[in-house]
Structure 1
Amino acid sequence: MNRLANWVAALLLMFSLNGVSAAEVLLGPGDVLRLSVFGNPDLALETRVNEAGNITFPLIGEVAVAGLSPSLAGKKIGDRLESGGFVRKPQVNVLVTTLQSQQISVLGQVNRPGRYPLEGKRSVIDLLAMAGGISADGGDTLNLLRKRNGVTTKDVVDIIAMMRSGELSQDYELAGGDVVYVERAPRFYVYGEVQRPGNFRLERGLTVVQALSVGGGLTPRGTERGMVIKRRDTNGKLLSFDAKHDDILQPDDVLYVKESWF
């Protein structure tokens, strides 16, 4: 992993540790719960929240628990047991054994892609830290897909700019079902009379002369005169133009270094 990626990973971990919340997770469909009532072992139950967000509990029947924390779900069940005259001052404990509903997918160029439980309040930075940070091939930005009230939105989050500025307005709070996707870093290509032709990671603001350095410099036959940049426009048409030392390369640019005739 390059030095910048290490720096970002360290900052992600720092923000994650500083931002952990003690708030309880909210229950939802698919979650597996283990319930017990103090002093009433016959009421112990392990069940799954159904698609409607309900569970069925002995004596009181169906109980809506989706959107409640485990403690509030326990209180709701206890109130129903007491109001029905089944248990006097019941103490109901609700333990989540499998957190299926409140999970977030972290995909793409991260070190540990997968699905992660949303335990308490979590933000984009928290989830990146849980996924081991952005991998060496990861880009500086990520896509955040969220569905709210039946509408899916996509936000592009510039992680590097956020870390450098300390402005965390794009460190969005996440909810179950959100998807964080880190794209591969953009590349550029160098070929012709350079020591190491090939494709390389495109850092921000990379100039032609810096690209030559990344490619190992010129061969004894190479010349900086007459270098060419090949680039596709928005319509996919390939354009070629003379390259100047301070030209800024763009994603998928090809820098061609010609052979000197003298």
Structure 2
Amino acid sequence: MIKLIVSDMDGTLLNDEKSIDSEIYNILPRLKEKGIRFVVASGRQYPSLKKHFHEHINDVVVIAENGAFVVDDGKELVVEPMAKHEVAHCLENIFMLKDVEPLLCAKYCSYTRSPELLDYLSSPLFHYEMRLAEDLFQVKDDIFKVSMISHGGKSAENCYERLRPKLDNSLNLVISGDACLDTGLRDVTKGTAVAALQKMWNITPQETVVFGDQYNDVEMLKQAYYSYAMEGASSGVKKFARFQAGSNNKGGVVKAIRELTGL
């Protein structure tokens, strides 16, 4: 019996235009009636995810910042910020690379030096809460992850190869989009957040469904028997999933949920 459904956002529940499959709103109350919990798990910040679900947010548990911040109906369940020296270490090494822009991700906003990146992420495309910071090293907020956005034509894979050898082993580095990578604590992932919820709710992996498409979804795919990689996921991600869902542009997540639950 399925008791928990977890879905990534970008490339999964969102189409390539960054719009959510509105059919999810129709099935959320029905999942709740059947005793099935729905969780959205993303590298995005909490405010962005909250805006996507607006009046349905009480029907959703939010795993934000790749598992470092988990919120259920306004209650903070998981809060795992990086140490100040770890944030500084990430920034120092990111600044050594060309054509990338770092982004500091806190609980309720993100910080950037770039007005262009601020405008881009705060647009309706992403709904981010953004703040400009002239010196990212001086930001006092607790930081959950340090992202880097490539804007010089370099692929995320290329940036990964250049940055990974420079980071301490205590830090994780994952590809979260075509031009985006996230650094964070090695032992804090979407997978650890899903595991924490499973333990809290007494739900087994055999009762869990997970949908994802990127490398930051791999750990949570491992937490579910019903692990689905999206049609557009890379082959490197698909090998960690038992099943394949349809295209994120054709409602692949909702279709699979309906088939699994009979809704």
> By percentage of residues, which structure has more helix?
2
Q: What TM-score do the two structures reach when normalised by structure 1?
A: 0.24
> By percentage of residues, which structure has more strand?
1
Q: Answer 1 or 2: higher relative contact order, Cα 8 Å, separation at least 6.
A: 2
Larger radius of gyration: 1
